[in-house]
Homo-oligomer: A and B are copies of this chain.
Amino acid sequence: MYKKVLIAEDFDSINIAVKQTLENLGVQEIQYAKYCDDAILKLKKALQDDQPFDLLISDLSFVEDYREVTIASGEELIQAIKEIQPEIKVIVYSVEDKPYIIKTLFDEAQINGYVKKGRNSISQLKTAIETLLYGKTFISPELAHALQDKTGKEIDSYDITLLSHLANGVAIEEMETLFKHLNITPNSKSTIEKRVAKLKDYFKANNNIHLIAITKDLGII
């Protein structure tokens, strides 16, 4: 069993439950952080003391409050931690279920397990930890299909910015000017319209309004 585990999770209630689970599994040392910044500090400290963490269990979204933070999300946290201690194992424990997000986590951030918070997530978390011990990856069964998803490959960052500006109320008319101002290419009204048309086609949206509603629901913007 892993000896030293770090939990990065803002909700106290979930922290309590995960901690209890790890104790039941026989983990000797458990620490938790309610802010990503604190998680980084604890990780560095452990490395300095030559007693590094074996495993990180991290949430993805951390609610903002009065405190100023440099790392605001689980995605950033994992990336930062992998730079400091690349060999650490990572399990994401989150409510997120968008294929696009999860696939990126496995592909880009090289996480080892993904457990979706839900009605049986604690037993899944146990299974995930045991699976990792055998050197394999884990994903919640209900999300297994996520790794086959192709959205991530076909929608690029240009599409995302375009959608974001649309959602922020920028009209197609103004988009051309805005993109030129921001040095984003292509930026002609025509090409922008073409992209939007492609996106509408891809997401089977009836119109631009529908498109924004769909992509918001998918968590793309």
Q: A interface, by DSSP: helix, strand, loop or mixed?
A: helix
Please measure, in the bound complex, the distance between the C-alpha atom of A120 and the C-alpha atom of B167, giving whole angstroms. Answer: 32
Q: Are A205 and B169 in contact (CB under 8 A)?
A: yes
**Chain B residues in 8 Å Cβ range of A10:** 118-119
Copy number in the complex reads: 2
> Binary interface profile of A, 137-162, with partner B (CB < 8 Å = 1, else 0)?
00000100000000000000000000
Nearest residue (CB) in B for A14 is B13
Query: Quick one: which of B11, B119, B169 contacts A206, CB cutoff 8 A?
Result: B169
Nearest residue (CB) in B for A120 is B12
Q: Which of A157-207 contact B (CB under 8 A)?
A: 166-171, 205-207
Please measure, in the bound complex, the distance between the C-alpha atom of A118 and the C-alpha atom of B159, giving whole angstroms. Answer: 32
Number of interface residues of A (CB under 8 A): 37
Please measure, in the bound complex, the distance between the C-alpha atom of A142 and the C-alpha atom of B63, giving whole angstroms. Answer: 12
> Binary interface profile of A, 108-151, with partner B (CB < 8 Å = 1, else 0)?
00000000011111110000000000000000001000000000
> Binary interface profile of A, 25-47, with partner B (CB < 8 Å = 1, else 0)?
00000000010000000000000
Nearest residue (CB) in B for A217 is B216
Chain A residues packing against B (C-beta within 8 Å): 10-18, 20, 34, 63, 65, 117-123, 142, 166-171, 205-210, 212-213, 216-217
